[in-house]
Amino acid sequence: MDTQRAKNIRESLTADCSQCFGLCCTALNLIASSDFPINKPAGSPCVNLQADYGCKIHANLREKGFKGCTVFDCLGAGQAVSQVTFKGQSWRDSPEIGAKMFQAFPVMEQIHEMIAYTAEALSYELPQALSEKLNVQLTALQNLTKHDTDQLLSLDIVMYRFPLNELLSETSKYIRESLIGKISGIKKAKDYNHERADWIGKKLNGQNLQAVNLRGAYLIAADMRNADLRAADFIGADLRDADLRGANLSTSMFLTQMQINSAKGDEKTLLPFYIRRPSHWTA
């Protein structure tokens, strides 16, 4: 697969709420917190879900206390379940399918997440052997999206995550190591590895963090204004309320829309090609 096709696949994984039956507003369990003002059990429609599956407070979610709704992104899993798995049947029109539909949604969400990571990896210039392995993985994951409900619900997702994680780690290592030695300001190899680091609230304003491994790192409320984060690996990192104003994430690896939605940024924040600038970011 050529890199441009891989980029197209990654960029296409976006939610289209007009083709979804409000699954994120129904299938998921909500717990009253700073992100949600109400408790809502899984399988129960949100009080703000309208008959046409739109949200009646969509324009004011943050003001109404539904910050979590503006962070969530299903990567297109909602419309896949609604239009492909259930062939356009709605849980409202056919209540008997509701339970399985709501169970299938988080499974499809995980599959789409894995497809997104795999497609992004294939968008880089990689050794042929690694690209071939990623291509095999991508084909297998894309085939899963065509499964019927019972097949989806019987999947052991972990069996797909483990081999993919190895390939993504190999991809990350290859890309980052190709830059190490060319970057000024970082002298030792260990300075690039901050996997699962506790950087909650850490002051990183203006720092050169190119090619740093931040997998699974806790970056909650970290001050990363104007930091250079090109080629940094963010898979699984917690970016809630991290300040990314003016930061350069243009070639950061394995960022998700949800991670960016949970952070703070502005018009000077540079983002990867597949990430949309959150509407709640400051001008």
Under the banding of pLDDT at 50, 70 and 90, the label for residue 282 is: confident
Do 7 and 147 reside in the same domain of the chain?
yes
Last residue of a domain, one of 145, 175, 205: 175
| pTM metric for this prediction | 0.95
Do 227 and 196 reside in the same domain of the chain?
yes
Render pLDDT for 165-195 as a digit per residue (tens, 0 to 9).
999 999 999 999 988 877 755 556 677 899 9
Q: What is the CATH number of the domain that holds 273?
A: 2.160.20.80
Sign of CA dihedral 128, 172, 164, 26: negative
Q: Mean pLDDT for the chain?
A: 95
- Is 219 inside a domain boundary? yes
Last residue of a domain, one of 157, 175, 193: 175
Domain residues for the domain of 209 are 185-282
Predicted pLDDT at 283: 64
- Is 57 inside a domain boundary? no
> Concatenated DSSP letters for 207-248?
-B-TT-B-TT-B-TT-B-TT-B-TT-B-TT-B-TT-B-TT-B
Do 16 and 144 reside in the same domain of the chain?
yes
Predicted pLDDT at 179: 87
The two tokens of residue 37 are: 């003002």
Render pLDDT for 199-250 as a digit per residue (tens, 0 to 9).
999 999 999 999 999 999 999 999 999 999 999 999 999 999 999 999 999 9
Render pLDDT for 65-90 as a digit per residue (tens, 0 to 9).
999 999 999 999 999 999 999 999 99
CB within 8 Å of 185: residues ≥ 6 apart: 208
Please tell me the total count of domains within the chain. Answer: 2
- Is 9 inside a domain boundary? yes
Own/partner long-range contacts of 148-156 (Cβ < 8 Å, ≥24 apart): 148/85, 149/85, 149/86, 149/100, 149/101, 149/104, 152/85, 152/104, 152/107, 152/108, 153/100, 153/103, 153/104, 153/107, 155/107
